[in-house]
């Protein structure tokens, strides 16, 4: 009488492991490509801020222009975080005693900045110039989404290398008159691509795609 130590299905173990090892490179490639892509890891990132500032209220309902707070976007590579005084320009009179604004009042009293948490945080090896884009007619909404509808700001786009290159290769769909860059409700007249092509030709817009453009 034969004694079977392992169950009969164990005979297929070798085939099962063979298929698993053969498929491992495909699995790892898919894991790295999709599991670690900015679309998976970064889109939707929404850190908690020290002050519950509502862009939907300020930029949306009240129509506050982006450049009122981020006042360096047309001159600098960085979009400045507003200083405490910018908030106090309104809130010395509007809800001056609100508990939500306590960090603002403490900042004014101590002369220390409010510790806002950066949402759109590019890697240190990436150079991005806000002024170069804004003054050429790339709207805020193209990169940041409908901020005027966000109660709390989150990352709307992946901001990946391929995402940037797609725009540099075909910027037409994201172009608008420079005076409309902060207008979240702006729509192109007629066909968007045709209108963008006209703006591109008119303003001689030819975004570079060489490595040194972003990696300096």
Axis crossing angle, helix 102-110 with helix 84-91, rounded to the nearest 10: 120
Distance of CA 12 to the CA centre of its chain: 49
Q: How far is residue 109's CA from residue 118's CA, in Å, rounded to a whole number?
A: 23
**Is the separation of the CB atoms in 168 and 193 below 8 Å?**
no
Q: How far is residue 35's CA from residue 162's CA, in Å, rounded to a whole number?
A: 16
In the predicted structure, residue 34 carries a pLDDT above the cut 60: no
Q: How far is residue 34's CA from residue 28's CA, in Å, rounded to a whole number?
A: 10
Please tell me the pTM assigned to this model.
Answer: 0.80
What is residue 101's predicted lDDT score, i.e. its pLDDT?
Answer: 97
Q: Quote the domain boundaries for residue 140.
A: 120-213
Q: Hey, is 175 helix, strand or coil?
A: strand
91 vs 34 pLDDT, higher one = 91
In the predicted structure, residue 57 carries a pLDDT above the cut 90: yes
Q: Please check whether residue 12 lies inside any domain of the structure.
A: no
Q: Please check whether residue 77 lies inside any domain of the structure.
A: no
What angle (nearest 5°) sits at the alpha carbon of residue 71, between those of residues 41 and 168?
50
In the predicted structure, residue 90 carries a pLDDT above the cut 50: yes
What is residue 136's predicted lDDT score, i.e. its pLDDT?
Answer: 96
Q: Please check whether residue 194 lies inside any domain of the structure.
A: yes
In the predicted structure, residue 31 carries a pLDDT above the cut 50: no
Token pair in block for residue 193: 């691509």
Q: Please check whether residue 190 lies inside any domain of the structure.
A: yes
Q: Hey, is 207 helix, strand or coil?
A: coil
Tens digits of per-residue pLDDT, 137-171?
999 999 999 999 999 999 999 999 999 999 999 99
Q: Please check whether residue 103 lies inside any domain of the structure.
A: no
Q: How far is residue 24's CA from residue 105's CA, in Å, rounded to a whole number?
A: 56
Q: Please check whether residue 184 lies inside any domain of the structure.
A: yes
Q: Please check whether residue 130 lies inside any domain of the structure.
A: yes
Q: Hey, is 172 helix, strand or coil?
A: helix
In the predicted structure, residue 12 carries a pLDDT above the cut 90: no
- How many domains in the chain? 1
Pick the range with the lowest mean pLDDT from 39-48, 82-91, 158-167: 39-48
**Is the separation of the CB atoms in 178 and 205 below 8 Å?**
no
Q: Hey, is 6 helix, strand or coil?
A: coil
Q: Please check whether residue 94 lies inside any domain of the structure.
A: no
What is residue 156's predicted lDDT score, i.e. its pLDDT?
Answer: 96
């Amino acid at each position: 009488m034969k004694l079977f130590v392992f169950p009969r299905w164990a005979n297929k173990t070798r085939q099962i492991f063979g298929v698993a090892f053969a498929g491992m490179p495909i699995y790892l490639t898919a894991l790295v490509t999709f599991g670690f892509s900015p679309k998976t890891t970064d889109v939707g990132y929404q850190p908690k801020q020290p002050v519950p500032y509502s862009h939907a209220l300020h930029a949306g309902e009240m129509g506050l222009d982006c450049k009122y707070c981020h006042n360096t976007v047309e001159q600098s590579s960085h979009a400045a975080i507003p200083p405490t005084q910018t908030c106090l320009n309104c809130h010395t009179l509007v809800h001056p005693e609100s508990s939500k604004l306590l960090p603002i009042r403490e900042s004014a009293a101590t002369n220390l900045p409010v510790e806002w948490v950066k949402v759109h945080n590019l890697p240190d090896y990436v150079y991005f110039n806000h002024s170069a884009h804004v003054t050429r007619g790339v709207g805020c909404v193209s990169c940041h989404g409908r901020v005027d509808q966000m109660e709390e700001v989150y990352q709307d786009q992946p901001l990946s290398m391929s995402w940037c290159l797609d725009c540099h290769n075909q910027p037409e769909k994201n172009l608008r008159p420079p005076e409309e860059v902060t207008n979240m409700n702006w729509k192109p007249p007629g066909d968007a691509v045709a209108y963008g092509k006209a703006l591109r030709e008119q303003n001689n817009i030819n975004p570079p795609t060489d490595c040194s453009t972003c990696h300096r």
